[in-house]
Amino acid sequence: MYSDELGLFRLLTLDARRHRELLGGQVDVSLLRLCLSMLSPRFAPVLLCRLAYACQRRRLSPLAKVFSLLNFMVFGIEIAVACKIGPGLFFPHTQGTVIGAYSIGSNAVIYQGVTVGARDLDFTYDEHHRPVVGDGVMLGAGAKVLGGIRLGDNVTVAANAVLLMSVPDQSVVGGIPAKILKTRNEVA
């Protein structure tokens, strides 16, 4: 489920719920709590990313770029305005993070210093050159995920890994270049 299928407010509500869940807080999110949570340095980058994407979808490209630039200047995170990201996005820390994936599924956790994008200059922004990231993926600090690859659901990419190949569901990868270290048993 991507942001295209949800309204901006619903998407932000789901993001806020996920943040509260991960941080051990009350999961029921009222409008007041949602507004207050937007001041958090973990949530504000998500808000700016969502606003940039919403503006881009409505063909308000200059405004989208303003939100994106603000995210970069204040939080040190660069997120492509065309990147489709599902609900539940969480950044424990943001500095030095570059997100240029084709798409990211729901409930992604992305640590600082992560780069997700093309292996070479790619201004066409298509899934043949950029990663497609599944649901429930965790990208460790400093991880690099590059090229037209697919990460399955519930994949963990270890800190400082350099991932250049597609990875199936339920995998843990690490190393330079990254290799599958472990495959988790799926729970029925």
Here the tokens at position 26 are 């009350």
Closest listed residue to residue 56, CA positions, set 68, 46, 64: 64
What pLDDT is recorded for position 161?
98
Q: What is the mean predicted confidence (pLDDT) over 110-129?
A: 89
Per residue in 29-39, pLDDT (tens digit) is 566 766 676 67
Range of lowest pLDDT (47-56, 91-100, 117-126, 170-179): 117-126
Using DSSP's 3-state secondary structure scheme, residue 179 falls into strand
In this structure, how many other beta carbons lie within 10 angstroms of the beta carbon of residue 15?
28
Same domain (yes/no): 68, 138: no
Same domain (yes/no): 28, 110: no
The residue from 10, 44, 76 where one domain ends is 76
Identify the domain containing residue 147 by its residue range.
96-188
Same domain (yes/no): 110, 186: yes
Single pTM value for the model: 0.89
The most confident of the ranges 13-22, 43-52, 154-163 is: 154-163
Distances in Å between the Cα of 154 and the Cα atoms of 14, 32, 72 are: 19, 32, 28
Question: Domain tally for the chain?
Answer: 2
Per residue in 15-26, pLDDT (tens digit) is 888 888 888 766
What pLDDT is recorded for position 188?
46
Q: What is the mean predicted confidence (pLDDT) over 99-123?
A: 93
Same domain (yes/no): 69, 142: no
**Mean pLDDT, the chain, whole residue set:** 89
- For residue 83, tell me if it sits in a domain: no
- For residue 91, tell me if it sits in a domain: no
Q: Which residues contact 3 (CB under 8 A, 6 or more apart)?
A: 11, 50, 53, 54, 84, 85, 86, 87
How deeply is 55 buried, as exposed, middle or buried, from its count of CB atoms within 10 A (0-12, 13-18, 19+)?
Answer: buried
Same domain (yes/no): 101, 63: no
